[in-house]
Amino acid sequence: MMTFRNPLSHKHLSGYMRVRSRRGNWLAVVLLRVSRRDLFFCLTALLVFCLGSVFYQFSGGAPKVLLDVGFYLGRFAGGHGPLAPRALPFPSQVVYNRVGKCGSRTLVLLLRMLVDRHGFTLISSDIHNKTRLTKREQENLIRNISTTPQPFLYTRHVHFLNFSRFRTDEPVHINIIRDPINRFLSNYFFRRFGDWRGEENHVVRTPGMKDDERYLDINTCILESYPECSNPRLFYIIPYFCGQHPQCREPGLWALETAKQNVLDHYLLVGVLEELEDVLLLLERLLPHFFSDVLNIYKSPEYRKLGNMTGTVHKQTPDLEALQVLYERMEYEYKFYNFVKAQFHLTKRKIGLRSGPKPSRPYSSVLQRKDLQEELEEEETEDSLEWTDQT
The string of DSSP letters for 278-319 reads HHHHHHHHH-HHHHTTHHHHHHSHHHHHHHGGGSBSS--PPP
Answer for the pair 298, 280: CB distance below 8 angstroms, yes or no. yes
- The more confidently predicted of residues 204 and 138 is 138
Choosing from 10, 12, 157, 245, the catalytic residue is 157
Q: Looking at domain 93-352+365-384, does it have CATH number 3.10.310.10?
A: no
Beta-carbon contacts of residue 86 (< 8 Å; ≥ 6 apart): 60, 61
Q: Rounded to 5 degrees, what angle do the CA atoms 287, 288, 293 make? A: 125
pLDDT band at 50 (very low <50, low <70, confident <90, very high): confident
CA distance readout (Å), 304 to 292, 298, 311, 376, 381: 18, 7, 12, 26, 20
Q: What is the pLDDT of residue 367?
A: 65
Q: What is the pLDDT of residue 55?
A: 60
Q: What is the pLDDT of residue 169?
A: 93
Answer for the pair 168, 142: CB distance below 8 angstroms, yes or no. yes
- Whole-prediction pTM: 0.72
**pLDDT > 70: what percent of the chain?**
67
Q: What is the pLDDT of residue 362?
A: 65
Query: Does the pLDDT of residue 89 top 80, yes or no?
Result: no
Q: What is the pLDDT of residue 307?
A: 64
Q: Give all strands of the β-sheet with 93-96 in edge-to-edge order.
A: 121-124, 152-155, 93-96, 172-177, 267-272
List the alpha helices (DSSP H) in 60-155. 64-76, 104-118, 135-146
Sorted by where each begins, the domain ranges of the chain are: 93-352+365-384
Q: How far apart, in Å, do the first and last CA atoms of the chain sit?
A: 103
The string of pLDDT tens digits covering residues 124-179 is 999 988 999 999 999 999 999 999 999 999 999 999 999 999 999 999 999 999 99
Q: What is the pLDDT of residue 197?
A: 57
pLDDT band at 287 (very low <50, low <70, confident <90, very high): very high
The string of pLDDT tens digits covering residues 173-189 is 999 999 999 999 999 99
Of 11-15, 25-29, 83-87, the one with minimum mean pLDDT is 83-87
pLDDT band at 75 (very low <50, low <70, confident <90, very high): very low
The string of DSSP letters for 15-68 reads HHHHHHHHHHHHHHHHHHHHHHHHHHHHHHHHHHHHHHHHHHHHHTS--HHHHH
**pLDDT > 90: what percent of the chain?**
57
pLDDT band at 304 (very low <50, low <70, confident <90, very high): confident
Average pLDDT, the chain: 80
The string of pLDDT tens digits covering residues 341-355 is 999 999 999 999 876
Q: What is the pLDDT of residue 80?
A: 42
The three-state (H, E, C) secondary structure of 193-213, written as one string? HCEHHHHHCCCCCCCCCCHHH
Is 345 considered catalytic here?
A: no
The string of DSSP letters for 227-255 reads GGGSTTTT--TTHHHH-SSGGGGS-SHHH
The string of DSSP letters for 310-334 reads GSBSS--PPPHHHHHHHHHHTHHHH
Answer for the pair 299, 306: CB distance below 8 angstroms, yes or no. no
